[in-house]
Structure 1
Amino acid sequence: HPLKTGTIVVDQGAYVTRGIGLGKEVEIPGTAWYVTDGSRKIMVDAGMCRTELADWHHRGSRQDPGEAIHERLGALGVDPAEIELVILTHLHWDHCHNLDKFPRARFLVHSRELAFAHDPIPPYYKSYEHPRLGCRPPYADISLETISGEAEILPGITVFPTPGHSPGHQSVAVTTDGGVHVIAGDAVFSCANLVPAGEHLPFTVMGRFSDIVESWYSMEAIVRRGKVVLPGHDMRTMDHPVYPAV
């Protein structure tokens, strides 16, 4: 289930499609995912924050009433206390707010991501809401478990490294009746990233990355693995309330 936890306003060419649409403001969703087989209940990411803080990150960004992750789950009839696991693709601000709404969950993040979040380079202070800016990171009071590579976390749910957008980014492959669906996180921002950019370029590179080479390899790995790729910030993922889509 894709859950829209707010709206982020970004420059298309700087964030979504590198160099394409520079200066054009676009609205993208802050997306989290609820995954269940009817008994096991997990989250991939927890989404973004309230409007006041979102606007500090990107002017015009917002979280409308009913969009906080616990409210979205409530609308599905799911009590956040039922969630047993939250897999974090990475620790940027728009993916890990409201973790305290999951009192019984384990929280899983890549070890490299946690290390970088604790000591990022200055251009990433804001992304991680780092204390050097006077912030308290949203995961500060959360006990985070770390993973360093690929692993099947639960039957049919595999986490695998997809660095590039951030140093320790990871994506989640979910085996379904409709084939493997990869929840890409920000390793793939938009469906537009999966459109060939030229004769020898099978992808359109994202604008926001820490390492363009790793980002490219991660997109290749995602496409190889997934029958369906679910990007991290594309409203088209909301076209279907549940996947596999019928």
Structure 2
Amino acid sequence: MTEQEYELFAIRYATRDARRSEHFIGGDPHDGPMPMDYFMWLARGGGRTFVIDTGFNAEVASRRKRTFLRCPVETLGAFGIDAAAVEDVILTHLHYDHVGNFDRFPNARFHLQERELAYATGRFMRYPGLSHSFEVEDVCGIVRLNYARRVLFYDGDAELAPGLSIHAAGGHSAGLQFVRVRTRRGFVVLASDVSHFYENMASERPFTTALHIGEMLEGFDKLLKLAPDESHVIPGHDPLVMKLYPAPSPELERIVVRLDVPPSRPAPLRADYRSGTS
């Protein structure tokens, strides 16, 4: 029996100016501009819709000095999707840019690694270097959803539906997970923050927000193990995603791209860095 195939989309809702030294542990000897994009993802097929992460809102964007482009939840309307009708939301982790707007999905169940909620409410949150990535009200909101029996917890990898699975990969956050989705071009791996940029994974240099560097490096390997090849891995914050993949319609140009079709050209590869060509 053939597994279900899904349409898969990335919705770009915010951006910020940044520099290379902000994105690699230890900085970068060739420091220069390296902007960061923020995404929410959508997978739908077989009569089911999965929203993957929920972004943040304009208030948080202003406070954290991010450029807010649009509400990602409202963008779902371009697909004919009412947030109130969404039944499944996958939260890759509880950092502010992945769980904000959770309250815009009043009838959804939320899929989360149990370690992530324990981490976000545990002893390490007394350290600003780790807690700054969380919004307290988001974390409290997920606790309330748990009391309302709307959070499904996992301890490691799990198949949520035929052709769609979650995979634990700590390091950046204790309960970080990524999503593997079967599409018409084969399995696509949504890395989320397992690899913020193509270059983090390709050069084996982790992002600066880190709980466990060794687990971050192992996360790169796990992404590649579960993808047909590197072109099937989609990083969580790389503006290059918007350049490599096409919009589903002219109206959604520069807002949404399809990830269930091949990229227009190769992204940075591990082999490029090992051979010194990048």
Which residue matches 2:11?
A: 3
How far apart, in 2, do the equivalents of 1:32 and 1:21 lie? 31
Distance 1:36 1:182 in 2: 15
Q: Deviations over 1:128-170 (max 9, x none)?
A: 1237xxx875535433321111110111111111111111101
Task: Give the distance between the partners of 1:177 and 1:18, measured in 2 at CA.
Answer: 39
Instruction: Provide the secondary structure at the position in 2 that maps to 1:206.
Output: coil
Task: Tell which structure's C-alpha radius of gyration is larger.
Answer: 2
Residues 13 and 169 of structure 1, relative CA distance in 2, 3 Å threshold: same
Match of residue 63 from structure 1:
68
Deviation digits for residues 166-220 of structure 1 (CA, Å, limit 9, x no counterpart): 1110111112221111111100101112333xxxxxx233222211100000110
> Which residue of 1 is the match for residue 38 of structure 2?
30
| 1:205 partner SS | coil
Q: Which has the higher helix share?
A: 2
Aligned to 2:223: 222
Q: How does 1:164-243 map to 2 (within 5 A)?
A: 164-196=171-203, 203-227=204-228, 228-238=232-242, 239-240=245-246, 241-243=257-259
Whether 1:41 and 2:49 are equivalent positions in the alignment is yes
Mapped to 1, the partners of 2:126 and 2:20 lie a distance apart of 24
User: Structure 1: which 5+ residue stretches go unaligned?
Assistant: 197-202
- Report the Cα offset of residue 79 of structure 1: 1.2
| Residue 12 (1) aligns with residue 13 (2) | no
Q: Is this contact kept in 1: 2:121–2:139, CA < 8 A?
A: no
CA RMSD of aligned residues (A): 2.2
1:225 aligned partner, one-letter code: L
**Alpha-carbon contact 1:99-1:142 (below 8 Å) kept:** no
Alpha-carbon distance in structure 2 between the residues aligned to 1:4 and 1:212: 28
1:20 CA drift (Å): 1.8
Distance 2:212 2:222 in 1: 15
Is there any run of 5+ residues in structure 2 with no aligned partner, and where?
1-8, 247-256, 263-278
Normalising to structure 2: TM-score of the pair?
0.76
Compared CA separation, residues 27 and 110, structure 1 to 2 (3 A) = same
Aligned residues: 232
- The verdict on how the C-alpha distance between 1:163 and 1:41 changes in structure 2, with shifts beyond 3 A counting, is same
Please give the alpha-carbon distance, in whole angstroms, between the structure 2 residues aligned to 1:121 and 1:183.
Answer: 30
Matched, 1:73 2:76: yes
Higher mean C-alpha deviation, range 231-240 or range 28-37: 231-240
Deviations 1:16-52 (A, max 9, x none): 57522686454311111010015100111111221x4
The code of the aligned residue for 1:62 comes to T
Q: Distance in 1 between matches of 2:17 and 2:33?
A: 7
Counterparts of 1:136 and 1:181, CA distance in 2:
29
> Following the alignment from structure 1 to structure 2, what is the Cα–Cα distance between the partners of residues 102 and 234?
26
